[in-house]
A and B are shown apart, each in its own frame.
Chain A
Amino acid sequence: GENVEQHPSTLSVQEGDSAVIKCTYSDSASNYFPWYKQELGKGPQLIIDIRSNVGEKKDQRIAVTLNKTAKHFSLHITETQPEDSAVYFCAASPQGGSEKLVFGKGTKLTVNP
């Protein structure tokens, strides 16, 4: 089945710097890749997603890139702020819309003021 690897497991940056989180997936049939943010004491919340017919998607300070050939996708956060501190999860949908999401193990991002 699908396997999603996420790196790094922890990431600490200074406020204003950029943060990059990378994920790789194993199933070449996967074609939907969402990213979720989990703040302390809360459930995960979708922040951005990308489908395999698109190479990059941006939403204000957040962007996601997808390399289907290499089977990896990344989350980029620019001009980080303390409120970006959270655990971020990447996920892949093995059969693109019809199957469950497989999540990475998460990256704990700390933005230092």
Chain B
Amino acid sequence: DSGVTQTPKHLITATGQRVTLRCSPRSGDLSVYWYQQSLDQGLQFLIQYYNGEERAKGNILERFSAQQFPDLHSELNLSSLELGDSALYFCASSRGGSSYNEQFFGPGTRLTVL
């Protein structure tokens, strides 16, 4: 158990809908990262927050947004969902904001868009 929690574990929804994925980092970790994992693309970095502020951005679509709250938990919002958004979404946390810090991954949320 990494200490990072993600909810829900599974999510099934329809195209055009909007969903929110939630992540609670390990106690004491200030950084939260979001990744998308699909079979053909591997682990794709989406976005990083550090202590409530956006720190780095990857290939995150405009339909996706995220935030980190004062209690350091984070939410990833996915809207106007398409079939191709079906994937595993991982949240990771680390103590600091640098990529040198070990990232601890949660168990993931499996999103299925029908």
Residues from chain B with a CB closer than 8 A to the CB of A42 are 105, 107
Smallest CB gap from B91: residue in A: A43
With A32-B99, A43-B2, A43-B90 in contact, is A101–B105 under 8 Å at CB? no
Residues from chain B with a CB closer than 8 A to the CB of A106 are 42-43
Count residues on chain A whose CB falls below 8 Å from chain B CBs. 23
With A43-B90, A43-B108, A44-B105 in contact, is A103–B100 under 8 Å at CB? no
Q: Which residues 49-108 of A sit at the B interface, judged by CB distance below 8 A?
A: 49, 89, 93, 96-106
Residues from chain A with a CB closer than 8 A to the CB of B92 are 43
Q: Does B106 contact A (CB under 8 A)?
A: yes
Minimum CB–CB distance for B24 against chain A, Å: 14
With A43-B90, A45-B2, A105-B41 in contact, is A100–B108 under 8 Å at CB? no
Q: Does A20 contact B (CB under 8 A)?
A: no
Give the distance in Å from the alpha carbon of A106 to the alpha carbon of B37 in the complex.
Answer: 11
Q: Does A46 contact B (CB under 8 A)?
A: yes
With A43-B106, A44-B105 in contact, is A98–B2 under 8 Å at CB? no
The answer to whether A103 touches B98, judged by C-beta atoms less than 8 angstroms apart, is no
Q: Which residues 24-60 of A sit at the B interface, judged by CB distance below 8 A?
A: 32, 34, 36, 41-46, 49
Count residues on chain B whose CB falls below 8 Å from chain A CBs. 23
Q: Does B13 contact A (CB under 8 A)?
A: no
Q: Does B8 contact A (CB under 8 A)?
A: no
Q: Which of A44, A46, A98, A100 sits near B58, CB closer than 8 Å?
A: A100
The answer to whether B43 touches A97, judged by C-beta atoms less than 8 angstroms apart, is no
The answer to whether B4 touches A43, judged by C-beta atoms less than 8 angstroms apart, is yes
| Complex A-B: 27 CB contacts under 8 Å | A41-B107, A42-B105, A43-B2, A43-B4, A43-B90, A43-B105, A43-B106, A43-B107, A43-B108, A44-B90, A45-B104, A46-B102, A89-B42, A93-B100, A96-B100, A97-B98, A98-B98, A98-B99, A100-B45, A100-B58, A100-B99, A102-B45, A103-B43, A103-B44, A104-B42, A105-B41, A105-B42
